[in-house]
Amino acid sequence: MSQQRVFTLSQVAQHKSKKDCWLVIDGRVLQVTKFLEEHPGGEEVVLELAGKDATMEFKDVGHSKAAQGMLRKYQVGILQGYAPKDEDSKDASIEESKGTEMSASVIKDDSSHRYEAFMEFFVPLVVAGSYFCYSYLSVVAN
Ligand code: HEM
């Protein structure tokens, strides 16, 4: 897995022309030069935000899941100070496996808790039952 390149906002700001257009969305640095003509919302709106953080504007439009997924295709790096949210990245998979471990231990804890609750109910029942049997047998024997 390749390491993400990290850019500052002023580095991104140097790419704000139609022939070299970058922008930032959700901490991802995107190279959208080739996408400008394809953008269903037109190139003007994207060009206005060229070289800037367009996260708010991107979200305000209410872009579809498909549009959000397209962001990864144009990603050339991440903005300084942002943790990569890429599901493919090593960190994400570590987080993911941590999550699995955690939920597994929660399930384990839960089942041992149920076992304890069961024993708390069952043991006194056996003790009380034994006592009544003993008393009954003593009465019958006498
Ligand atoms: C790489 C970044 C971007 C991608 C991949 C992208 C993708 C798309 C896609 C796929 C659509 C079609 C509708 C949908 O599926 O949601 C769309 C529509 C649109 N986008 Fe973007 N977009 C990007 C950036 C931006 C930015 C920065 C703006 C600025 C405000 C913007 C404004 C719009 C508008 C106004 C529409 C039209 C919405 C409509 O007609 O309902 N987009 N975009």
Mean pLDDT per block of 10 residues along the chain (142 residues) reads 85 97 97 97 97 97 96 96 62 41 49 73 87 87 78
**What is the per-residue pLDDT for 88?**
47
Mutating to test ligand 1, I would choose from 26, 61, 75 the residue with most ligand atoms within 8 A of its C-beta, which is 61
- In this prediction the pTM is 0.67
| Distance from the alpha carbon of residue 52 to the mean position of ligand 1, in angstroms | 16
Mutating to test ligand 1, I would choose from 63, 64, 68 the residue with most ligand atoms within 8 A of its C-beta, which is 63
- The 10 Å CB-count burial string (b at 16+, else e) for 27-59 is bbbbbbbeebeeeeeebeebbebbbebbbebbe
User: Is there an atom of ligand 1 within 6 Å of 63 CB?
Assistant: yes
What is the DSSP annotation of 29-89? EEE-TTTTTT-TT-HHHHHHTTTSB-HHHHHHTT--HHHHHHGGGGEEEEETTPPP--TTS
C-alpha 120, offset from chain centre: 39
- Atom of ligand 1 at shortest range from CA of 45: 29
Query: Cβ(79)–Cβ(72) under 8 Å?
Result: no
**The one-letter amino acid at 82:** Y
CA distance linking residue 137 with residue 142, whole number of Å: 9
**What is the per-residue pLDDT for 118?**
74
Phi and psi at residue 45, to the nearest 5°: -60, -35
**What is the per-residue pLDDT for 116?**
78
